[in-house]
Chains A and B, each alone.
Chain A
Amino acid sequence: MSTFIKDYIERETISRRNFLFASAAGLTTAAMPGVFGAGMARAATDPALAWSYRDRASAYWNAIVSGGEAFTESIGKTKEDMTSLINEGSSEKSLADIKAFLAKNNGACAIACDANDSPNARPVAEAVQAAGGYVSTIWNKTDDAHPWDFGDNWVSHMTWSDEKPAEETARILFEAMGGKGGVVHLGGIAANNPAIERLNGLKNALKDYPDIELLDAQPADWDTTKAAELMASFLTKYGDKITGVHCANDNIAYGVMEALKAEGIEGMPIVAYDGNPEAVQMVMDGQLLATVFTNPHWGGGVTLALAYHAAIGTFKPSEEPNEHREFYGPTILVTAKDAADFKAKYLDNVPTYDWKDFWGPSNGQIVYK
């Protein structure tokens, strides 16, 4: 929300802390960050750890953070040793926080990061390279920026290709519709990459089902309330012509179900995306046909693990092949027949991962169109 207020408080906190340090040392002048920090003493054998991400208000980012913390504990540290750099959806804050973290630790850093939007990945990588730190990124980067152009410092980039899984959920939906009828798509924020890919997946599947018509596709901004209102408007416009609903994420599906519940409509085939615990339960209960899990816990852990192990020299990124520098994360389709197993394996007990198996669960090198 207000990055201005947060920035201000942070700035004040840091300068106050420096003042106290300086006073304690018997100096009267305020000092540059880092002079009194632990940075000088910390060699690359013990880099400072940080995760830079959007916010704590969603299950998705909480799972990312829990993975980062699980990795941090696996190397004998406490959760608190991983610093959260929360950008609140601001690319400027994302970059500023990372620069401050690098300065504080004199570059001895292993940072995991979602750069918030694609153009921000390059300045982040440049800042990390200039300071001699190590960064691994997920989701956002432009197609022309590659980790291998930044030596060892931009360790890796992982993203998830949503087109194929969204196509699979669409096929499951179309089969449930009996191969005919009308489908509506409620999407994410129109300009978001995953929103575009998930709609493309639906369109790819449509080619094989000539008797199914895509009635409408509009953005519901990943939001439950907006999705409920959009679905209600769709019902006015298309009425009984709607025989299936393709949702870009789980939150949207919750809104769609409530809009249908308000009308007393039951048994409408719906598919979703993200594999949140509530949605998986709905798949088990038969309210949803399918959702897709991207294993954010593993993603959060392995991204930080890659940066850490590059920093301490376990492997040298520039000696790794390109498919180890840019790769797709895992996607798991959750349907009625495997939902119970899936829940037991991934949600009821968080699996213990081998954080040195960096590329095992990944899904091949990123392909550009």
Chain B
Amino acid sequence: MKRLMTRENAIRWAPMLVLIGLVILFTAINPAFLSQRNFARIAIAAAPALMVAIGVTFIIVMGSIDLSMEGTVGLTAVLFCFAFLATGGTLAAGAWVAIPLILLLGALIGLVNGLVHVRLRIPSFMASLAIGFVGTGAAVLVTGGDIVKIDDDTFRALLTWRIAGFPLMIYVVAALALLAWFIQSHTTLGRNFYAVGGGEELAHASGLNVRRVRIMGFVLAGVFYAVAGILQVAKLGQAESVSGANFMFISITSVVVGGVALWGGIGGIWNTVVGVLIVNVINNGMVVIGLPDFLQDGMLGLLVILAVVLSTDRRSISFVK
């Protein structure tokens, strides 16, 4: 009989155990935490963040980093609203066209991001940060600092129409997470991300076109950021240039907390899903148990360190940069 409590198993399941532990902790302090309605609230808060986190997971698995999410989400959200209004203002009137249009735009921003990184040989950290600034700047430019609102009940059904207690957007996000898992596990591209992250030189020597894989990774991430932008509009009914604010912190924290290693090659979509849930459960739980607001940021930081300690295998790493 195989031993269940191997070290590998412990690390694989650690993020899940951290999540369950947090749920038990918060429920013990305030039983209202453990209710279907509250889980729906956490899910709504987590939905756009999960799309951003999944996008950046592909990049982090390759051992790179993408910091363009705030600009990309802000710009796609704003342009989605403009496109939606310009094509009729309601889904029924033909404004659904805005959805593929904005996904394409997300891909395009990702493509530029990837090209700047690969062709100009600028580290992904700097290239993506710069593209993010361009995105935020462009969003300020097109909105002039104003808010753009969408008032279509059919589109807003993503938030207001509930199936088994959860809004429609949660099912959309779940389906897209499955799609991301499929790309990761069952396509050549997905496996190539791991090849690049596990050892770029080896992958290159084996005949893999590493530069192409990197660019494709950024394109894919861009599409997921665009989905986040659209969901952000579905959630709030409006977009502005700062609609993408805070996504950088929350997505990268979630990915790392979930057990995806920043040095690449380790972890994947399910780690990210669990990581996003952990961060959102903490955010919601701290208010629900009545933790004073001046302690919340500090507590979030401590819990993040704890989760990373428990959920990543650091013994095999000789040094951490």
Contacts and interface: CB of A to CB of B under 8 A. Distances in A.
B190 interface: no
Given A218-B287, A229-B284, A230-B287, A236 B146 contact: no
Contacts of A229: 45, 283-284
Contacts of B240: 57, 224
B235 A258 contact: yes
Given A190-B294, A262-B160, A57 B288 contact: no
Looking at chain B's contact residues, the main secondary structure is helix
A234 B45 CA distance: 13
B241 interface: yes
A108 B195 CA distance: 63
Interface in B205-248: 232, 235-238, 240-243, 245-246
Given A233-B288, A262-B167, A224 B238 contact: yes
A58 B240 CA distance: 9
Contact of B136 (A1, A225, A254): A1
A225 to B, nearest CB: 7
B41 interface: yes
A223 interface: yes
A239 B41 CA distance: 13
B30 interface: yes
B235 A228 contact: yes
Given A225-B246, A262-B167, A233 B284 contact: yes
A347 interface: no
B35 A236 contact: yes
A234 to B, nearest CB: 7
A219 B296 CA distance: 11
A1 B129 CA distance: 10
A2 interface: yes
B47 to A, nearest CB: 11
Contacts of A58: 145
A14 interface: no
B237 A236 contact: no
Nearest to B159: A262
A263 B235 CA distance: 12
Nearest to A187: B293
Interface residues of B, number: 42
Interface string A211-241: 0000010110001111011101111110100
A234 B290 CA distance: 10
B140 A56 contact: yes
B32 interface: yes
A56 B145 contact: yes
A300 interface: no
Contact of B245 (A55, A225, A258, A276): A225
A57 B287 contact: no
Contacts, number: 104
Contact of A57 (B30, B44, B242, B283): B242
Given A62-B144, A236-B35, A262-B44, A254 B287 contact: no
A293 interface: no
Interface in B228-287: 232, 235-238, 240-243, 245-246, 283-284, 287
B306 interface: no
Contact of B140 (A57, A233, A237, A276): A57
B204 interface: no
Given A57-B145, A58-B145, A262-B159, A237 B288 contact: yes
A289 B199 CA distance: 60
B136 A236 contact: no
Interface in A75-111: none
A258 B41 contact: no
Interface in A34-64: 55-59, 61-62
B133 interface: yes
A264 B160 contact: yes
A149 to B, nearest CB: 35
A237 B34 CA distance: 11
Nearest to B42: A232
A338 interface: no
A255 interface: yes
A187 to B, nearest CB: 9
- Point out which of A57, A190, A216, A259 has the most chain B C-beta atoms below 10 A from its C-beta: A57
A341 interface: no
B300 interface: no
Interface in B1-53: 30, 32-33, 35, 37-38, 41-42, 44-45
A277 B314 CA distance: 53
A261 interface: yes
A278 interface: yes
A237 B294 CA distance: 18
A254 B238 contact: yes
Nearest to B132: A1
A5 interface: yes
A261 B287 contact: no
- Point out which of A5, A233, A235, A255 has the most chain B C-beta atoms below 10 A from its C-beta: A233
A216 B287 CA distance: 10
Contacts of B175: none
A326 B85 CA distance: 45
B174 interface: no
A59 B45 contact: no
Contacts of B283: 229, 233
Interface of B: 30, 32-33, 35, 37-38, 41-42, 44-45, 129-130, 133, 136, 140, 144-147, 149, 156, 159-160, 167, 232, 235-238, 240-243, 245-246, 283-284, 287-288, 290, 293-294
Given A57-B240, A58-B145, 9 more contacts: A56-B145, A57-B136, A57-B140, A62-B146, A224-B240, A232-B284, A237-B288, A258-B159, A264-B160
13 contacts: A56-B145, A57-B136, A218-B287, A223-B245, A225-B235, A228-B45, A229-B284, A233-B41, A233-B288, A234-B287, A261-B156, A262-B235, A278-B149
Interface of A: 1-2, 5, 55-59, 61-62, 190, 216, 218-219, 223-226, 228-230, 232-237, 239, 254-255, 258-259, 261-264, 276, 278
